[in-house]
Structure 1
């Protein structure tokens, strides 16, 4: 959000700070001066080599840029210029003062929320569907349908402004990527395979219903904090291709069954069984909101963005105004609201349960029972038939999540649930998932250690005997009190005097420590450059005093390289700087497991010893 002092001229634009870089484009914030004293912020995407040298790709890029300029909708980022400057092809787009949805989800978890409340998730995705429908129904000058398909609906391509506006981006770029050569397609799939539709995994021709499916995947993630299919690329694509998706109730038993059914319909394997259009999906979501959360404030998304990114907004001179009523609601969502959210520990999600009492009586959207505006596939079928089918489906999916697996002799199901949900589950020290989850435990005489860890909460552990496996373990985690600011245990007094920044400058870690870490980190960074880039950026943010943003980069690093010791160390330091003792302990402990010697190991031991001694 801040504007750097240095700018570079790029045609009629002044390039300011670099916002990011992907496989095919570099993105900058820029300023366009319309007249003297009149200017506006824009985003410039510059196409990178070797794409800019490929004539076929350039032609497709230009065709798609023209199409993107024809899209004009409040839920789509406006593309208003494209062309070539100094041998580089570029797009000029609307600047959205906010954050990508992917960063919103990461910040939620850092703030103690595993996922969005259902009404908020539905409201957000209804806006995405409005933008998709506008694109899907565009026609050329002769009135012929363009058949435009986004092909990459994912949290990275949904922007949420600080005012609560939701905008879909990257129409032209996504289409150009998929229309290129085979090696280009392979590059696009990498990293986005979790959001592919079944027909994309089979390289079939796509229509609007492919975007309906991927919108359903994003809604699933907003509601559960998980994805319907997870794992390595090969197994994920195979499961998507055959329709083997996890129902959302398996992760969030408290999810309203009618909403779960809407998600399941969007994720149907056969496109004929999905919503016939993004508009139908949007209508079904709007109907659910009208019946199940009629009093949900439309301003909630704006307040959520202010709460999540308060630090960034204050630095930009735009401190958010967050009403007390919203903060009270946040306390309920994060499990700080007293007995109301802990009176049913067997239920998985206080976030969804918080709204249950305000909802009207049970209602199944017309999109699922026939007669509603989105009920095309139910035409001619009595409503009670569809109601019975949906009820049976809900029973089947929920049953799969909670009943013992009779097809696996010699093992038992152990359901693990926590309040708040989203705790890391460890089995004999190895991470096996997040709550709520179901574990397969072999019968026998051995015993195992079950642990639950959640940032800001006391770690919990128990011993599970294979001879007597319980059906369910349900735990209400205890929130840790904010510790006093810890001492700086890692810097010798003489070193500290030499390296202390002037008063008012950001807090910086000892350069001696940074030098000691760089040699140890070089090996894994060479084998995992993407994780290394995230780690390096996290270090820079931490040195500049942007602890929360640094934490997001360290989490990203660990998603790509779980054994990256320095990223665990970074999270430990973020925990210290933000008074999150649980995060600091876990980060330092995990670092010591991987790097038991060295200057940083001494830092970790001193912190852990100081906490144990209190």
Structure 2
């Protein structure tokens, strides 16, 4: 079983000092066109002392004031988000023509990596593990949705990008939600989204955000921000993540029905902040058509209690969903404490199941494919190595 990365010895490709700290970038943790580039780095005081593992998210200064301002917004927001299930943001640093958001490194793997590892050995995550992860993320979202600024004013924060590669499952079974860089909030002085840009992850986006483009409301803040946008949008996204964990496949691919009104339902000129596996207008159209009937067909083999939770989380109309992430958390935890359970499923059980999955996936003879995008969590056979050199040019 591979353990946490060791920050004491690996050779560094890029070393620089900023803000009183010395940073040694070890390697890419995640480098994928659908997600932010994340770099694993060690950090220590410039005067010496112990090393700490951190994650650096590059922000290219050549992208101008907007990119820098959004990085600073993410740091400011993090000061209002102190919660054990939310990965801390430590600040920003700069080197040459690149600025970095510095994030705490929780030893573990991304949920996407865990899901891919299970698929690679023909397994599904248990219902309990899926419910536990979703409950912990719902706990994080409930705290974020209730966050206030320095003056005590509600931020009305919406994460907008809840997905499997922004959820981290620690080696100890602890779950953290990461990366609020695409979040909507009423933070004073925040920069507004440019017209025609869909923030967040389009594969997990709530239908009310998409409808903001198709059927704008009177008084709507902007194209991506419906007048009543709130944390219920994140509840929908988390519902899709939970469904994906339980089905071991992305719920909207392939669809049960092919709809022919793509251009009519969603404007094709809108571009996503992140790339998506399907054309944006096609993916958005599937989200807009994913209603109770489609959900019932997808979940018919699941326990009735999980069907009820998913049915409420994935209602197209936010008024019919859980009104807070805390309500979803409570029902998921009730499932984990259902009659017949010797003890509630928690971090200890999550650790054991995740380790068992990766133990099997580490047997390279069983790996027919290797879709995982996170580096360093399993040894790679030579013919499946990720393309491109590991070195980072200074």
TM-score, length-scaled by structure 2:
0.72
Alignment of 1:42 with 2:54, yes or no, is yes
Rg larger in 1 or in 2?
A: 1
CA offset at residue 173 of structure 1?
A: 4.5
The residue number in structure 2 matching 1:209 is 232
Residues 26 and 222 of structure 1: CA distance in aligned 2, closer, same or farther (over 3 Å): closer
**Kept after mapping to 2: 8 A contact 1:152/1:174:** yes
Give the C-alpha shift of residue 39 in structure 1.
2.1
Distance 1:137 1:155 in 2: 23
Is 2:320 the counterpart of 1:308? no
Distance 2:328 2:27 in 1: 38
CA distance in 2, matches of 1:293, 1:97: 33
Aligned to 1:218: 241
Is the CA contact 1:228–1:245 (under 8 Å) kept in the aligned structure 2?
no
Q: Distance in 1 between the 2:90 and 2:367 partners?
A: 45
- What is the match of residue 125 of structure 1? 134
Tell me if the contact between 2:130 and 2:246 (Cα under 8 Å) persists in the aligned partners.
yes
Contact 1:119 1:293 in 2 (8 A): no
C-alpha deviations, 1:166-199, integer Å up to 9, x for none?
Answer: 110011355599943236x25x56xx43211101
Q: Highest relative contact order (Cα 8 Å, sep 6+), 1 or 2?
A: 2
Bigger mean CA offset, 242-251 vs 117-126:
242-251
Distance 1:549 1:254 in 2: 37
Check if 1:547 corresponds to 2:388: no
Give the aligned partner of residue 12 of structure 2: 6
| Other-structure match for 1:197 | 206
2:325 to 278, 303, 314: 278
Change (3 A) 1:103 1:110: same
Which of 183, 190, 195 is residue 182 of structure 1 equivalent to?
A: 195
Q: Secondary structure at the match of 2:41?
A: strand
Alpha-carbon offset, residue 545 of structure 1 = 6.2
Match for 1:266 among 281, 288, 313? Answer: 313
Aligned 8 A contact 1:112 1:456 in 2: no
Q: Displacement of 1:18 after TM fit? A: 2.1
Q: Secondary structure at the match of 2:235?
A: helix
> What is the DSSP-based 3-state SS (H/G/I as helix, E as strand, rest coil) of the residue aligned with 1:172?
coil
Residues 30-83 of structure 1 show CA distances to partners (whole Å, capped at 9, x for unaligned) of: 1121464422111111113653x2x13422331232112332111111112224
1:511-541: CA deviation from partner (whole Å, max 9, x where unpaired): xxxxxxxxxxxxxxxxxxxxxxx99x99x99
2:285 to 226, 238, 243: 238
Q: CA deviation at 1:548?
A: 10
After the TM superposition, which residues 476-487 of structure 1 pair with which residues of structure 2 at under 5 Å, given as runs?
A: none
Instruction: Say which SS state the counterpart of residue 309 (structure 1) adopts.
Output: helix
Give 2:73's match in structure 1, choosing from 52, 63, 67: 63
Aligned-partner Cα distance in 2 for 1:548–1:76 = 36
Match of 2:250, SS?
coil
Work out the CA distance in 1 between the residues paired with 2:147 and 2:349. Answer: 31
SS at 2:181's partner residue? helix
Are 1:229 and 1:246, in contact at CA under 8 Å, matched by a contact in 2? no
- Runs of 4+ that moved beyond 4 A: 22-25, 173-179, 245-249, 311-314
1:158-557 aligned within 5 A: 158-175=167-184, 179-182=192-195, 185-186=197-198, 188=199, 192-202=201-211, 203-205=224-226, 206-231=229-254, 232=278, 233-244=280-291, 247=294, 250-251=297-298, 253-292=300-339, 294-295=341-342, 296-298=344-346, 299-310=348-359, 546-547=380-381, 550=384
Indicate how the Cα distance of structure 1 residues 293 and 276 shifts in structure 2: closer, same or farther if over 3 A, else same. farther
CA distance in 1, matches of 2:84, 2:287: 32
- Give the distance between the partners of 1:280 and 1:545, measured in 2 at CA: 40
Say whether the 8 Å CA contact 2:161–2:182 is kept in structure 1: no
The aligned residue for residue 136 of structure 1 is 145
Q: Of 89, 108, 118, which aligns to 1:98?
A: 108
Please state whether the residue corresponding to 2:102 is helix, strand or coil: strand
Deviation of 1:2 (Å): 6.0
Paired positions, count: 326
Q: Against the structure 1 CA distance between its residues 173 and 197, is the aligned structure 2 distance closer, same or farther, given a 3 Å change threshold?
A: closer
- CA gap 1:6/1:64 in 2 versus in 1, 3 angstroms: closer
Deviations for 1:381-410, whole angstroms, at most 9, x for unmatched residues? xxxxxxxxxxxxxxxxxxxxxxxxxxxxxx
TM-score by length of 1: 0.48
Structure with greater helix share of residues? 1
> 2: CA distance between counterparts of 1:195 and 1:236?
10
Two-structure CA RMSD over aligned residues (Å) = 3.5
Give the Cα–Cα distance (whole angstroms) in 1 for the partners of residues 191 and 32 of structure 2.
15
Contact 1:69 1:81 survives alignment (8 Å): no
